[in-house]
A and B are shown apart, each in its own frame.
Chain A
Amino acid sequence: MNKTSISLKTGEHWLASPTTRVLAALIIVFVLGLLFNADGAFFKWGTHRDMLRAVSVYGILACGMTLVIISGGIDLSVGSILALTAVCFSLFTIHYQTAVILAILVCLVISSLCGIMSGAIIARFKIQPFISTLAMMVFARGLAKWVSGGQKISTAVQQADGTYQYVEVPGVFNFINSKLLGDNITVVTVIFLICIVISYIILTKLRYGRYLYAIGGNEEAARLSGVPIIKSKLLAYGLSGLFCGVAGICQAAQELQGDPEAGISYELSAIAMVVIGGTSLQGGRANMWLTLIGVLTIGYLEKILSINAIGEDKRLMLTGAIIIAAVLLQKTKK
């Protein structure tokens, strides 16, 4: 009697581990892909490579989003900051022909500053993250439109007399857009994986990572035990901004232009990916690998719907249903 209950318990424990539950959602989606393989398209590596490419920009945003959500916050401004960086990066590299390293650095500084600004308002003035980053979402979108004059910044450069002159696509765009390892993985995917690893190191190897968990778990307790709340929060939103900058550069390179309208509603996709990864929106609980699985789950779902040419109406309904199913899977029984 006792024995069986123990084995049952350990069995439950194994099934109850967050990783298993999050993986289960991914496996279900993957099996769907195997069943509905669109005449074998799902069995080609190219399909998976393309899925990884398409999901990379969202994934990079999800890295920053995970850090912020762990601290008990949320960042709604990621899509707008992405657009702002995409526009700035295109302006620097296409129009002004700035050195690539300098352009990247300036863009990352701009995006980090946007994040730090939200962070400062949240930490210093105790404004709710939802409101503060909502304001930044609107502000950064406006800034992106203002900087670009409402037009896409592309290789067609308008001259003073209204005519257009066509310039070459900068080399850095082509590099980010290219593939590595015998055409098997895109550069953006590699950048995404690097972002995942960096976030993982921040969360598990640095003292700062434990600060974030502590603040998200119980801010008052963290403050009493000497965690520098304001600095930590500033850094969390700054890092989220930094990742937005990286994503924006990737977005510009993939579109060969800086679109001030890019990234609209990307924040919702990023949040969905983090949540499917089992992260609680109340903070204090998350894991970078689980976010990666969340990213892959959404990525595969979109890819399977796309290769089967499912209509938009059914796509939205199925996506909604899968998100709910995935979150329900993670709900621990009490």
Chain B
Amino acid sequence: MKKNFVLAVLCAVLCWAGCKKTTPQAAPGTETKNETKKWTIGMSQCNLGEPWRVQMNADIKMAADQHPEISVVFKDAQNDTLRQQAQVEEFISAGVDVIIISPKEAAPLTPVVAQAYDKGIPVIVMDRRVLGDKYTCFVGADNKKIGRAAGRWIVQKLGGKGKVVELKGLMTSTPGQDRHNGFMEGIKDSQIEIIFDADMKWLEPNARKEMESALARFPEINLVYAHNDPGAHGAYLAAKAAGREKDILFVGIDGLQQEGQAYVKQGLLSASFEYPTGGKEAVEAAMTLLSGKTVEKEITLASRVFTKDNIDAGGEWLSE
């Protein structure tokens, strides 16, 4: 009896919610809004778990807000390859004018991107690549180059020799591998010694734990190179708890405004290397495409290094 009552209430609530939805559709404001929005961009993000990807979406939104004639539909694939495939298919059938995709993986998303491309919908691929050349353009930064720049910067900073702890990102992921390999190239001809390394899987609590172990083991550590800024911050907190944060330099990657840049500004990190999201560049490319012009197939994003000395001037662009 009680169960029936609960069911009835649920039904009533659902009906009410359903009825409510129809009201705004009938409102006159929305139709005129659709008319001014001439073009629609579909954006499929592989996940919104990482702050960096949240930032990418925010950058795209901010850039798109400058153009009143476009509207962006955002979809979050929640780290699910099949879901991301479905999202691109939905964009194709909805007939969007441009697709922006930051794919989770190359191989499984290549066919569906090619399908959109063959149907004449421009596809802008961001950060991670798809296979082959059936896409309109790729926007991304080069992790290996950034790792190399970090390595060189560290060699210079330490005067060619020193004891370094490397806190790696997830080493089964390409950014983790590239940031490591680039770094090794950067420090190749120096006497920099990696005395301790661990896979902290991009996570700050893990970085802190691993750094505690490094501190317990080595009385002398000159610098910590972490594959992302949260990792460097976790290492800083561990060193601070051990009272050794003044003897160690901390270097991270990503350079987000509210993370890496903030840590540099507060004097916690010595440097943070930017890994740009490319959100703005992607929207610019989309606008160029929509106006009927063509864009370059490869748009490689330049990155900056933020240090205490240059942060107020907006960082320094990496040469190379």
Residues of A within 8 A of B (CB): 38-39, 41, 44, 46-47, 50, 53-54, 145, 150-152, 154-156, 158, 162, 164, 166, 177, 179, 186, 251, 254-256, 259, 261-262, 302-303, 306-307, 309, 311-312
For chain A, what secondary structure do more than half of its interface residues adopt (helix, strand, loop), or is it mixed? mixed
Q: Is the CB of A309 within 8 A of B197?
A: yes
A322 CB, min distance to chain B CBs, angstroms: 18
Q: Contact at B210–A306, with CB atoms within 8 Å?
A: yes
Q: Are A38 and B237 in contact (CB under 8 A)?
A: no
B51 CB, min distance to chain A CBs, angstroms: 6
Contacts of A46 in B (CB 8 A): 215-216, 242
Chain B 207-248 per-residue mask, 1 if CB under 8 angstroms from chain A, else 0:
011101101110000000000000001100110011000000
**Closest A residue by C-beta to B201:** A312
A-chain residues with CB within 8 Å of residue B215 when the two chains form the complex? 46
Give the residue of A150, A156, A309, A312 whose beta carbon is less than 8 angstroms from that of B262.
Answer: A156
Select one of A50, A150, A306 contacting B198, CB under 8 A. Answer: A306
**Given that A46-B242, A150-B54, A156-B262 are contacting pairs, would A261 and B213 also be in contact in the complex, using a CB cutoff of 8 Å?**
no
Classify chain B's interface size. 35 or more
Q: How far is the CA of A41 from the CA of B217 in the complex (A)?
A: 5
* A155 to B217 CA separation, bound complex (whole angstroms): 31
User: Do A166 and B216 contact each other (CB < 8 Å), given the known contacts A158-B258, A309-B197?
Assistant: no
A312 close to B209 (CB less than 8 A): no
A108 to chain B, nearest CB (A): 21
The contact sample of 30 A-B pairs, CB cut-off 8 A, is A38-B216, A41-B213, A44-B216, A50-B209, A50-B212, A50-B213, A50-B241, A53-B212, A54-B208, A152-B258, A154-B262, A155-B266, A156-B257, A166-B262, A177-B237, A177-B241, A251-B205, A255-B234, A255-B237, A256-B233, A261-B50, A302-B209, A303-B213, A306-B209, A306-B210, A306-B212, A306-B213, A307-B217, A309-B197, A311-B199
Contacts A47-B212, A307-B216 supplied; 16 other A-B pairs, CB < 8 Å: A38-B213, A38-B217, A46-B215, A46-B216, A46-B242, A47-B213, A50-B213, A145-B48, A151-B54, A155-B266, A186-B241, A254-B208, A254-B237, A256-B237, A311-B199, A312-B201
| Chain B contact residues: helix, strand, loop or mixed | helix
CB nearest to A259 among chain B residues: B204
For the complex, give the distance between the alpha carbons of A259 and B62 in Å. 23
Contact between A166 and B196, CB atoms less than 8 A apart: no
Contact check, B258 vs A154: say whether CB atoms are below 8 A apart.
yes
Residues of B within 8 A of A (CB): 48-51, 54, 62, 171, 196-199, 201, 204-205, 208-210, 212-213, 215-217, 233-234, 237-238, 241-242, 257-259, 261-262, 265-266
Residue of A nearest to B198 (CB): A309
Judge whether B258 and A54 touch: CB under 8 Å.
no
Query: Contacts of A186 on B, CB cut-off 8 Å?
Result: 241
Which residues of chain B come closer than 8 Å to A179, judged between CB atoms?
241
Name the residue on A nearest B265 (C-beta): A166
